[in-house]
Amino acid sequence: MAKNDATHHANPLRDSRDRRLSRVAGPSSLVLFGVTGDLSRKKLMPAVYDLANRGLLPPSFALVGFARRSWADEDFAAEVKESVQAHCRTPFDETVWKQLSQGIRFVQGEFDDDDAFERLKTTLAELDEQRGTQGNHAFYLSIPPKAFELVCRQLSDHDLAQSDGENWRRVVIEKPFGHNLASARALNGIVESVFPPDSVFRIDHYLGKETVQNILALRFANQFFEPLWNANYVDHVQITMAEDIGTGGRAGYYDGVGAARDVIQNHLLQLLALTAMEEPISFNAEDLRAEKEKVLAAVKLPKDLSTHSARGQFAGGWQGGEKVKGYLQEDGIPAESITETFAAIRLDINTRRWSGVPFYLRTGKRLGRRVTEIAVVFKRAPNLLFTEHSDDDFGQNAVVIRVQPDEGVTIRFGSKVPGTQMEVRDVTMDFGYGHAFTESSPEAYERLILDVLLGEPPLFPRHQEVELSWKILDPFEEFWASEGLAPESYEPGSWGPASADELLKRDGRTWRRP
């Protein structure tokens, strides 16, 4: 066992109520490549501070930045402090910052600069000696995917990726994990030729959100959900990730990638897997991943992709009282681009539990509001008693899991309207994290960075999951490319193009309006 890798293997005699002790990282450092990018400034560096402020990082922790800027350690520390004060979730505490800042270092260099990686090696050796990081180092590649291979090779060539058995070395890579199945396999081959598979952490920040993890608690810790969670009772499932903004300065990345590759391949298929999976025998990584992979392997594509998929591109117009540009007018977008900003698909899962239950996935920009949710919609109750009502008078029961922004769960059911007549109307029961718990939910990156330092991988998809996801999406992408048609235009502030509504209408269903 690597030294201090198992702080979570705590003393079994300790007070079992003190759950925090099992989640404190051991001596280690986090090396950030791409520290000048938005992700590092707005998410990663504040998350590190928030972990320290919550007492979840040890005194022997170090944060190392690697970038082209000609910064001294003090300059980088000032940048980190500015990011933390602007974006941290917990109150800023000068004492916590002083402790954390003593372990902040900076290495200047390009990715192809051998001397820079030698300086990084020297810096980490000094931290082992001065800060007691004990050779435990995680490398976070917050960089374009095209640079993954070069940085991984450099880490290997300079003996930074290898563990001697007494310590650990890990690498963290951000999505996208390739742009199709072939590129994902090539990327996995590159990364896993340098780091062992169990030392590769593929970050999907959605899997760090409290509500995503609550899917497992909702299903398997409650007796009254799981017996109904199957084709006998469920009519269909809708999984939505909607944004009310445009590309938001990501034009260089987004164009040519599009909504389906950006969101459906990773976020939404992961949510589908968690919603549809069988109960794992434990929460360890192998058991959890095995059940998710079974679901993804059982996904069946529609025979006719043209009638069971939709693509759209937002036009210019008015949204929320503000005049907004269309996608083709946004800075950095080619005027002839046929990249979609909205995508919707239907999938089926070929298992006994889900046979005949369609899963509808949709995502888009410039939609009606920002929301991510999973709606499990149940079959209509037989209208035997309420004969004066038509079937259409009764809505369908639903369990709606809100992933963001108002994390919680809503249950929709029919109830009698007060009065002398027997009139039934849909009502909702709502659970919100912010109302039910005094603790505020940690940012997703707090949870994920801590899991990396602890070596706990259940929330991170391994390469089999990534490849199965591309196997599902690639046929849609190839079909859309073969058509060569521009996506259908839709108004900003709407819920997507008319073809998305037609997709469900053909099945006798309609999209929810969150």
pLDDT tens per residue, range 462-497: 788 899 999 999 999 999 999 888 999 999 999 999
Q: Does 470 reside within a domain? A: yes
pLDDT of residue 217: 87
184 near 177, Cβ under 8 Å?
yes
Asked which of 123, 151, 174 is the last residue of a domain, the reply is: 174
Of residues 339, 197, 355, the one with CA closest to residue 276: 355
Mark whether 57 and 119 lie in a shared domain: yes
Q: Does 407 reside within a domain? A: yes
Whole-angstrom distance, CA of residue 277 vs CA of residue 354: 10
C-alpha 326 chain-centroid distance: 27
Mark whether 152 and 213 lie in a shared domain: no
Provide the pairing of β-strand 309-314 with 488-490. parallel
DSSP state of 43: I
Whole-angstrom distance, CA of residue 272 vs CA of residue 58: 36
Mark whether 50 and 125 lie in a shared domain: yes
Mark whether 276 and 356 lie in a shared domain: yes
- Annotated binding residue 209: yes
Of residues 391, 426, 394, the one with CA closest to residue 412: 426
Mark whether 55 and 128 lie in a shared domain: yes
Q: Does 120 reside within a domain? A: yes
- Annotated binding residue 255: no
328 near 346, Cβ under 8 Å?
no
- Annotated binding residue 111: yes
Whole-angstrom distance, CA of residue 456 vs CA of residue 447: 10
Whole-angstrom distance, CA of residue 396 vs CA of residue 383: 12
- Token readout for 151 is 């940085």
- Annotated binding residue 325: no
Mark whether 168 and 300 lie in a shared domain: no
Q: Give strand pairing partners of 396.
A: none
pLDDT of residue 21: 42
Q: Does 181 reside within a domain? A: no
Between residues 343 and 11, the one the model is more confident about:
343
Q: For residue 20, is pLDDT > 60?
A: no
Catalytic residue among 137, 179, 236, 267: 267
- Annotated binding residue 121: no
Q: What is the CA radius of gyration of the chain?
A: 24
- Token readout for 304 is 């006719």
% of the chain exceeding 70 in pLDDT: 89
Q: For residue 8, is pLDDT > 80?
A: no
- Annotated binding residue 110: yes
Of residues 431, 463, 457, the one with CA closest to residue 218: 431
Mean pLDDT of 351-360: 97
Mark whether 274 and 414 lie in a shared domain: yes
Lowest mean pLDDT among 81-95, 163-177, 359-373: 163-177
pLDDT of residue 11: 36
Q: Give strand pairing partners of 138.
A: 30, 170
Interhelix angle 148-157/181-192, nearest 10 degrees: 10
Between residues 269 and 407, the one the model is more confident about:
269
What DSSP letter does each residue of 341-376 carry, written as one string? SEEEEEEEE-STTTTT-EEEEEEESSBSS-EEEEEE
Q: For residue 343, is pLDDT > 90?
A: yes
% of the chain exceeding 90 in pLDDT: 59
Whole-angstrom distance, CA of residue 295 vs CA of residue 276: 7
Alpha helices in 67-198 (DSSP H): 73-87, 94-101, 114-130, 148-157, 181-192
Q: For residue 18, is pLDDT > 80?
A: no
Q: Residue 52: what residue type?
A: A
Instruction: Find the CATH number of the domain harbouring 100.
Output: 3.40.50.720
Q: Which residue has the tokens 């939404």?
A: 268
Mark whether 170 and 263 lie in a shared domain: no
C-alpha 87 chain-centroid distance: 19
pLDDT of residue 437: 62
- Token readout for 303 is 């025979």
Between residues 448 and 283, the one the model is more confident about:
448
Mark whether 263 and 118 lie in a shared domain: no
Whole-angstrom distance, CA of residue 237 vs CA of residue 345: 12
Mark whether 215 and 103 lie in a shared domain: no
pLDDT of residue 206: 66
pLDDT of residue 215: 87
Between residues 385 and 114, the one the model is more confident about:
114
3-class DSSP state of 446: helix
Instruction: Find the CATH number of the domain harbouring 301.
Output: 3.30.360.10
Lowest mean pLDDT among 226-235, 242-251, 273-282: 242-251
pLDDT tens per residue, range 27-80: 999 999 988 888 889 999 999 999 999 999 999 999 999 999 999 999 999 999
In degrees, to the nearest 5, what angle opens at C-alpha 403 toward C-alphas 276 and 8?
A: 80
Lowest mean pLDDT among 91-95, 442-446, 497-501: 442-446
Dihedral pair phi/psi, residue 264, rounded to 5°: -65, -45
In degrees, to the nearest 5, what angle opens at C-alpha 69 toward C-alphas 67 and 75?
A: 100
**Domain with 141 in it:** 19-174
Query: Has 267 been annotated as catalytic?
Result: yes
pLDDT of residue 19: 43
DSSP E strand boundaries for 389-439: 398-404, 408-416, 424-432
Q: Which residue has the tokens 């992408």?
A: 477
Mark whether 53 and 117 lie in a shared domain: yes
Whole-angstrom distance, CA of residue 299 vs CA of residue 297: 6
Cis before residue 405, ω within 30 degrees of 0?
yes
- Annotated binding residue 220: no
pLDDT of residue 387: 58
Q: Does 57 reside within a domain? A: yes
pLDDT of residue 393: 58
Asked which of 124, 153, 174 is the last residue of a domain, the reply is: 174
Q: Residue 466: what residue type?
A: V
End-to-end CA distance of the chain: 48
Provide the pairing of β-strand 104-108 with 61-67. parallel
Between the CA of residue 2 and those of 5, 121, 164, 284, what are the distances in Å? Answer: 5, 20, 9, 18
pLDDT tens per residue, range 364-373: 999 999 999 9
Of residues 349, 365, 272, the one with CA closest to residue 311: 365
pLDDT of residue 509: 95
3-class DSSP state of 265: helix
Mark whether 447 and 319 lie in a shared domain: yes
Asked which of 174, 189, 219 is the last residue of a domain, the reply is: 174
What DSSP letter does each residue of 461-489 carry, written as one string? --HHHHHHHHHHHHHHHHHHHHHTPPPEE
pLDDT of residue 440: 60
Number of domains in the chain: 2
Mean pLDDT of 290-306: 95
- 324: enclosing H helix or E strand: strand 322-324
Give the mean pLDDT of the chain. 87
DSSP state of 422: -
Between residues 9 and 470, the one the model is more confident about:
470
Q: Does 460 reside within a domain? A: yes
Q: For residue 213, is pLDDT > 80?
A: no
pLDDT tens per residue, range 248-286: 777 777 888 899 999 999 899 999 999 999 999 987 878
Q: Does 435 reside within a domain? A: yes
